[in-house]
Amino acid sequence: MPTMRDVADHAGVSIATVSFVVNNTKPVTAATRSRIEASMKALGYRPNAVARALASRRTRILALAYPMLDHRLGGSGMEFMIAAARTASTYGYHLMMWPGANDGRELTELVGQQLVDGVILMEVQLDDPRVAALKATATPYALIGRTADPSDSLHVDIDFEQSTSGAVQHLHDLGHRHIVFVTGTQDRESYYNYGPYVRTERAFRDVTARLGVAPVIIESGQDTTAGRDLAHRLFTECPDTTAVLVLNEFAAIGLLTGVIHRGVRVPEDVSIMSMLTSDEMATYTQPSLTIMRSPGTALGELAVHQLVQRMTKGTVPDPVLLPSTLVPAESTAPPPAIPYGRR
């Protein structure tokens, strides 16, 4: 691997001059510049990222910290990651995955290594020790989600109020008056005070109050199996239900398939709407789910934009809440049944 030294010798200039053209950081005669460029090409020179980082005190690496909770990332979590990595690379940054515990200690370690210029925190909790840790180290960061403290700046998040009221309003417009809201079970340490649960539930109470319908709220686990169980619970506990709003996409899929499997028709008998969901998940069922689509990709891009702006311009962009989009289930003309009965 040729170094800058080699290039300088080859071009008959000083190492400093090479640096100037590589970084375009000082004026250089067109003649010498092209001579240097020729040498770089001839030698196949590539600047050494590590040396550059040490000297310039910037690594051009961003960390994406996602807590290793017991649950898997949903579809939009994945969208988020991919979008963030792609966006980072357009800025000339690399994205490092950082699967850490949910406490601040490990994060402090990571940041102390000075390997990353900034950190993106996914799945921020209302009371998140990682945010405090990050603040203490003065590392630039961006939050996906919000803490309870409104002064924790630079976050992007889903607009839960908009999502929830949009969903409820839609169902209400369709004539539904008995709407059940299914939120996540909060008995676990990590989910207690989980922002999306708290904010969505609050929004649900608000909008139902506004519309003058009773807020029925039940808890459920966050996977398809739990959702399947709901299919039973729902009709015993809340027999009047005509529409269900499910906070978790996995649970929503379980509920929908479970309900259909029991001979209940969707949406004729009951409407099901899945919140915080990606397009992809909606297609897994038939009929497809009606969803409030999470802006996963947009969040990923935005988070990186914001963070980079903070690091380079030094300004702290305003928090942004992105709306969810209502995506109705594709209307399924009932297909011709296939007479089928061999074996």
Positions in the binding site for DNA (CB under 7 A): 1, 3-5, 12-17, 19-20, 22-23, 25-29, 31-33, 45, 47-48, 51-52, 54-57
Residue in 27, 150, 263, 314 binding a second copy, rule: CB under 8 A: 263
Q: Which residues contact 130 (CB under 8 A, 6 or more apart)?
A: 65, 67, 100, 102, 103, 104, 107, 121, 124
Question: Is position 81 an interface residue for a second copy (rule: CB under 8 A)?
Answer: yes
The least distance separating a second copy from the CB of residue 48, rounded to whole angstroms, comes to: 5
Q: For 116-141, b where at least 16 C-beta lie within 10 A, e where not — what string?
A: bbbbbbbbbbbebebbebbeeeebbb
Query: Is 113 an interacting residue with respect to a second copy (CB under 8 A)?
Result: yes
Name residue 220's beta-bridge partners: 184
Residue 171 C-beta: closest distance to a second copy, Å: 12
Shortest CB 92 distance to DNA, Å: 12
In contact, 270 and 243? CB cutoff 8 Å:
yes
* Among positions 33, 86, 205, 233, the unique one binding a second copy when judged by CB under 8 A: 86
Query: Does the CA dihedral 116-120-121-126 come out positive or negative?
Result: positive
Asked if 260 is part of the footprint of a second copy (rule: CB under 8 A), the reply reads: yes
Phi, psi of 322 (to 5 degrees): -95, 135
Q: Could you say whether residue 270 binds a second copy (CB under 8 A)?
A: yes
Please state the closest distance from residue 161 (CB atom) to a second copy, in A.
28
Q: Would you give the end-to-end CA distance of the chain in angstroms?
A: 67
To a second copy, the closest distance from the beta carbon of 22 in angstroms equals 12
The answer to whether the beta carbons of residues 165 and 201 sit under 8 Å apart is no
Identify what 148 binds: a second copy, DNA, none; CB under 5 to 8 Å per kind.
Answer: none
Q: Are strands 216-220 and 271-277 parallel, antiparallel or unpaired?
A: unpaired
Q: Return the range that interacts with a second copy (CB under 8 A); candidates 146-154, 159-167, 197-205, 258-266.
A: 258-266
Residue 285, interface with a second copy (CB under 8 A)?
A: yes
The answer to whether 54 contacts a second copy (rule: CB under 8 A) is yes
Beta strand ranges found along the chain (DSSP E): 61-67, 94-100, 118-121, 141-144, 155-158, 179-184, 216-220, 243-246, 271-277, 290-293, 320-322, 325-327
Q: What single letter denotes the amino acid at residue 221?
A: G
Q: Verify binding: residue 28, a second copy, rule CB under 8 A.
A: no
Q: What CA–CA distance (Å, rounded) separates 101 from 111?
A: 14
Decide whether 58 or 86 has the Cβ nearer to DNA: 58
Binding mask 202-241 for a second copy (x = CB under 8 A): ---------------------xxx--x---x--x----x-
Kindly state the smallest distance separating residue 10's Cβ from DNA, in Å. 12
